[in-house]
Amino acid sequence: MISTPPLTAAAPQVRSATVLVNGHRLHYRSAGSGPVVLLVHGIAGSGATWKRLLQPLAQGHRVIALDLLGHGLSAKPRGDYSLAGHASVVRDFLDALGIADVSAVGHSYGGGVVMQLLYQYPERVNRLVLISSGGLGPEVTPLLRLAAVQVAEPLTRYVLRAAMALPAGGRVPRRLRDAVWPRRIEDFLPAMAEPGGCAAFFNTVRGVIDFRGQRIDATGRLPHVRDTPVLAIWGDADRILPVAHIRTLEAVATAQLHVLPRVGHFPHEERAEEVTALIQDFLAQPRRRPARPLHATA
């Protein structure tokens, strides 16, 4: 078991801020100073998903957890919610903050975004961390395949109105949560219920998924990452994206692959200390390092 050192009494303060990018408000949380680590969440998520990693990683780094366009507290305009569109917005976001390059960390859909950022703007990404990443195989939970069907959007709007009318600000009964999504779905109900939030969600889903599964396949582009250090982390109990997808990255000579036993789709929430320690170790390594074999972390 890898353990991460406890936070010191002077733990870096987390700040919340917004910046205008191409006329749209982007919200982000940040802490620390030094080389920049950019954290990118998955579909229907926000930068809040990184709350247990932000301060520990900020000891020696400037860590930024972005709410992607259409998510969290960021604007939700009509627009381009494709992977390429998100990558372009992230590039413009970094420009707005005066940041030249980052170590990019992406979870689920965010993994696809940071890979796309590397493909489009290789000079902006010096390291890549993929956590339960999308884009590495067609298989995906049936829930998201259903979400890609056109009739799902009006149905979801109806369910959202009903859920937000529940007591306690839209709390969803545990049985329903577990049946629909393996985490607290009320965490992202408010953002989806905002004007444009539901449309942004479905536009994002349809950009990468159809009723057969993931439409975007990064396999053909993996040669583009051959000179970039890669850390991949996955849970062996992932019900959203199967752990077998991590083996796609065995073709990348610079990749270090870690499978966490008894962990689902959110390793950075379920085993935050261990994931933090893996990322800290990865960031501390020399830029070029021989690949490590796939192994399970107890």
At the second CATH level, the architecture of 15-138+215-296 is: 3-Layer(aba) Sandwich (3.40)
pLDDT at site 163: 47
Q: Which has the higher per-residue pLDDT, 214 or 53?
A: 53
pLDDT at site 198: 73
> Which residues are known to be catalytic?
108, 238, 265
Q: Are the C-beta atoms of 132 and 235 separated by less than 8 Å?
A: yes
Q: pLDDT for 125-140, tens place per residue? A: 999 999 999 988 888 8
Determine the residue type at 159: V
Residues of the chain with CATH 3.40.50.1820: 15-138+215-296
Confidence check: pLDDT of 122 > 80: yes
Q: Are the C-beta atoms of 152 and 146 separated by less than 8 Å?
A: yes
Structure confidence at residue 4 as a pLDDT band (50, 70, 90): very low
Confidence check: pLDDT of 11 > 50: yes
Would you give the end-to-end CA distance of the chain in angstroms?
6
What percentage of residues in the chain have a pLDDT greater than 70?
75
Sign, CA torsion 126/131/136/140: negative
| Beta-ladder partners of 130 | 106, 232
Confidence check: pLDDT of 43 > 60: yes
Structure confidence at residue 151 as a pLDDT band (50, 70, 90): very low
Q: Tokens 């700040």 belong to which residue?
A: 15
Torsion of CA 108, 113, 116, 122, to 10 degrees: -110
The DSSP annotation for 200-239 comes to: HHHHHHHHHEETTEE----GGGGGGGTTS-EEEEEETT-S
Q: Are the C-beta atoms of 137 and 206 separated by less than 8 Å?
A: no
Structure confidence at residue 199 as a pLDDT band (50, 70, 90): confident
Quote the CA–CA distance of 248 and 225 in Å, as a whole number.
Answer: 13
Quote the CA–CA distance of 81 and 280 in Å, as a whole number.
Answer: 31
Q: Which has the higher per-residue pLDDT, 189 or 28?
A: 28
Structure confidence at residue 295 as a pLDDT band (50, 70, 90): low
The DSSP annotation for 153-209 comes to: HHHHHHHHHHHHTSHHHH---HHHHHHH-SS-GGGTHHHHHSTTHHHHHHHHHHHHE
Measured from the Cβ of residue 260, the count of other Cβ atoms closer than 10 Å reads: 23
Measured from the Cβ of residue 168, the count of other Cβ atoms closer than 10 Å reads: 7
Q: Can you give the length of the chain in residues?
A: 298
What would the two tokens of residue 177 be? 């949560």
Q: Tokens 């992230």 belong to which residue?
A: 90
Q: Are the C-beta atoms of 78 and 35 separated by less than 8 Å?
A: no
Q: Are the C-beta atoms of 55 and 7 separated by less than 8 Å?
A: yes
Structure confidence at residue 178 as a pLDDT band (50, 70, 90): very low
Min mean pLDDT across 67-71, 177-181, 279-283 is at 177-181
Determine the residue type at 53: L
Confidence check: pLDDT of 153 > 80: no
Q: pLDDT for 222-271, tens place per residue? A: 877 878 999 999 999 998 999 999 999 998 989 999 999 999 999 999 99
Confidence check: pLDDT of 214 > 90: no
